[in-house]
Amino acid sequence: MQLYRKVGIICFLAFIYTTSFSQSIDSKNLMRHLVFLSSDELKGRKTSSEGNLKAIEYIQNEFQTYGLKTHYKDYLQRFSFRSFGKVYEDAANVIGFIPGRESDKIIVISAHFDHLGLGQPNSDGDSIYNGADDNASGTAALLAIAEYFSKNPAQHSLMFAAFDSEELGLRGSKAFLEDFPFELDQIALNVNMDMVGRNDSDEIYASGTYQNPQLKGPLEIASEGSVPELLFGHDQPGMGRDDWTNSSDHGSFVKKGISHIYFGVEDHEDYHTQDDEFDGINPKFFVGSANLILKCILELDKFLVED
């Protein structure tokens, strides 16, 4: 399906599925972001690839459009690293900033935009790992939430961090914390999003309340009666792979002793396959989950100021 047809159809679906939240993201823009970030044009967004650079440019342009400030030249926090014998010298996080109304503390809202790139063709001849849910969905939600707060500043300062190189070992979030423009103790919370676009049971998890039990109450308030339903868990020691504490970029914050909440769905059959495509996203679920995460951030922002 041609890209412009996808945009038109999905914007229409997003309009139909927009929830009745009084505070809500722009659902049409949310879906527009997802269409582009998961498109074949970006060829899987692998770190340092041409498609990855196109994703970076797209996020930069959106941050600039929203009028976000930044502490890095052109919003780019550049870094390098070695992985599996290869040196990556031109990786880059995209970082935007909105000053708070009442607090000098910072809530870091994050999602990684990189994915696996190209691989061996599957049975359908498809070699592109588009990563629609993992993690074009989280990045699209990040952009939509940044747009909302650019018009409605929070009490805390908000730093929007689109991380590169998560798939290569959380490299972007590690570099971010090593080159953070403030003292690390100014970070009140990390809210990380990774795979928030589809779930057949209308469920999304907020992981991290085992380590941060004080945050469960605000999340319960924000999610009361929500669709999708907000569940808690995947954060207790001894759960093996079912413990998500270090499963995505929030793990870098955990290692620094920084509180976190991670929003994500359980793995589905298309996880890390070429079938994680835009067409597999459930627009109703995705718009609902993005609005739910926004409501949770608003409630956490209020709670952390009062606490």
pLDDT tens per residue, range 190-219: 999 999 999 999 999 999 999 999 999 999
CA–CA gap between residue 22 and residue 243 (Å, rounded)? 34
pLDDT for position 8:
52
pLDDT tens per residue, range 8-52: 555 555 444 444 446 899 999 999 999 999 999 999 999 999 999
Which of 111, 112, 115 shows the shortest CA–CA distance to 130?
A: 115
Q: Using CB atoms within 10 Å of the CB of residue 273, give its burial: 0 to 12 exposed, 13 to 18 middle, 19+ buried.
A: middle
CA–CA gap between residue 202 and residue 85 (Å, rounded)? 41
> Does the pLDDT of residue 2 top 50, yes or no?
no
When pLDDT is averaged across residues 256-279 and rounded to a whole number, the result is 98
Q: What's the mean pLDDT when you consider all of the chain?
A: 94
pLDDT for position 17:
47
> Does the pLDDT of residue 266 top 70, yes or no?
yes
| Confidence bin at 88 (pLDDT 50/70/90) | very high
Element of type H or E holding 112: strand 106-112
pLDDT for position 23:
83
| Confidence bin at 78 (pLDDT 50/70/90) | very high
pLDDT for position 307:
77
Query: Angle of helix 283-306 relative to helix 216-223, nearest 10 degrees?
Result: 140
Q: Partners of 159 in the beta sheet?
A: 97, 108
Q: Provide, rounded to the nearest whole percent, the portion of the chain with pLDDT above 90.
A: 90
pLDDT for position 11:
52
pLDDT for position 57:
98
Element of type H or E holding 25: none
Could you tell me which residue, 6 or 68, shows the higher pLDDT?
Answer: 68
Q: Partners of 264 in the beta sheet?
A: 205
> Does the pLDDT of residue 4 top 70, yes or no?
no
pLDDT tens per residue, range 224-249: 999 999 999 999 999 999 999 999 99
CA–CA gap between residue 143 and residue 30 (Å, rounded)? 7
When pLDDT is averaged across residues 255-281 and rounded to a whole number, the result is 98
Which of 171, 170, 162 shows the shortest CA–CA distance to 144?
A: 162
pLDDT for position 7:
52
Q: What share of the chain is helix, strand, coil (3-state, %, to 5)?
A: 40, 20, 40
Element of type H or E holding 91: strand 86-98
pLDDT tens per residue, range 98-115: 999 999 899 999 999 999
CA–CA gap between residue 19 and residue 9 (Å, rounded)? 18
pLDDT for position 164:
98
CATH number, span 3-306: 3.40.630.10
Cis peptide before 99 (omega within 30 of 0): no
Q: Using CB atoms within 10 Å of the CB of residue 121, give its burial: 0 to 12 exposed, 13 to 18 middle, 19+ buried.
A: exposed
pLDDT for position 6:
53
